[in-house]
Amino acid sequence: MQNKNLRKGVLFAILSLLLVSMQPIITIARPKVIDVYIFAAMTCLIEAFIFLPLFLIERKNLKLKLKSDPSDSQKVSNLLCGWKKNIKFLIYLGINFAIAQVLFFLAYQLAGAINGSLAQQSSIIFALLFGFIINHEKISKIQILFSIVLLFGLMLAITQGTFNLIEFNIGVLIMLITTMLWMLAHTLTKPILERGELTSTQLVFIRNSLSGLILFFTYFIFFPISNISILFNSLNIFFFVAIGVFYAFDLFFFYKSISNIKVSKASIIVSPMPILTAFFAYIFLSEILTVYHLIGALIIIFSIYMIVREEEQEKVDLKKESQEINNQ
């Protein structure tokens, strides 16, 4: 059974890796008439549409469980109605991810697929930082060390070994801000998930529904009403659907992966994303792939591995300490 779960978890993580690696390619290859604002709005709405049946099926199963197993009614009721306790937070999530989605596409547009994908890996540093500040999670010296090493690898690749910060790519800076917004939201979400007031499926559906609606209904404040024609062009529709599908199924497969294997293992499997994106960018976008990109990517991947491995070891140590205390 464990081997079967391992195989399924690895397979789902690899599928997630392939999909997330293609997102920058679709983003940059889209027709120039599609601005980042409407692209972000349609991405969120299509993603929400894809997750809608999963959301409804999950709620149906929870309602059936509530009827069949009254002994677990409190837990199930929390999952069904927990969103009511967190309405203000869900609105914040919708706004946060709406802004982040626009910045995400803008970052790739300015930085390119290779540099953008490398900068995206900075998310693990912000995860550690916000986890420490907000959720009071421990950060080891090893994690601090390899966070610095990760930044070194990123700077090496972005500046092509010159480390000239004056000519720092603005798209990379925007991507760093984007990952910061993502990780802040994820850190604030973690306690709600742990309290069993929401599920991952509910969060993805609700946040993307809100983000998509916010972006769509504010779009014409900044852009002319004539841009409505963008939505009815067949080529544009193809790119809207493509990015929405790749985004949605990337999340779906990653969640399926971590339901079969540990988050740390899934994260390590997905970590080669910059190298795969660089390969796709070289083939489909004719971006220049340099030795500095490859060396930087390898440093980043190794740093992520060490950070995640250290986090997993801390969990094992805490579990042992807890068992020893209970035995005493």
Cα–Cα distance between 244 and 39 in angstroms, integer?
9
Q: What is the DSSP string of 113-131?
A: HHHHHHHHTTHHHHHHHHH
Cα–Cα distance between 98 and 115 in angstroms, integer?
22
Cα–Cα distance between 302 and 268 in angstroms, integer?
9
Burial class of 65 by CB neighbour count within 10 A (0 to 12, 13 to 18, 19+): middle
Structure tokens at 88: 């203000």
Cα–Cα distance between 36 and 109 in angstroms, integer?
9
Cβ–Cβ under 8 Å, residues 101 and 44: yes
pLDDT for the residue numbered 319: 55
pLDDT for the residue numbered 324: 47
Q: What is the DSSP string of 197-244?
A: S--HHHHHHHHHHHHHHHHHHHHHHHS-GGGGGGGG-HHHHHHHHHHH
pLDDT for the residue numbered 205: 94
Q: What is the DSSP string of 145-166?
A: HHHHHHHHHHHHHHTTT---GG
pLDDT for the residue numbered 171: 93
Q: Side chain identity at 53, as an amino acid letter?
A: P
- Compute φ and ψ for 245, nearest 5 degrees: -65, -45
Cβ–Cβ under 8 Å, residues 31 and 232: no
- Tens of each residue's pLDDT in the chain, 328 residues: 567 778 888 899 999 999 999 999 999 999 999 999 999 999 999 999 999 999 999 999 988 888 887 777 788 888 888 888 899 999 999 999 999 999 999 999 999 999 999 999 999 999 999 999 998 888 899 999 999 999 999 999 999 888 887 667 899 999 999 999 999 999 999 889 888 888 889 999 999 999 999 999 999 999 999 999 999 999 999 999 999 999 999 989 988 888 888 777 888 889 899 999 999 999 999 999 999 999 999 999 999 999 988 877 656 554 555 454 444 5
pLDDT for the residue numbered 220: 92
Cβ–Cβ under 8 Å, residues 193 and 258: no
| Distance separating the N- and C-terminal Cα atoms of the chain | 33
pLDDT for the residue numbered 195: 87
Task: From 287, 36, 23, select the one nearest 157 (Cα to Cα).
Answer: 287
Cβ–Cβ under 8 Å, residues 119 and 158: yes
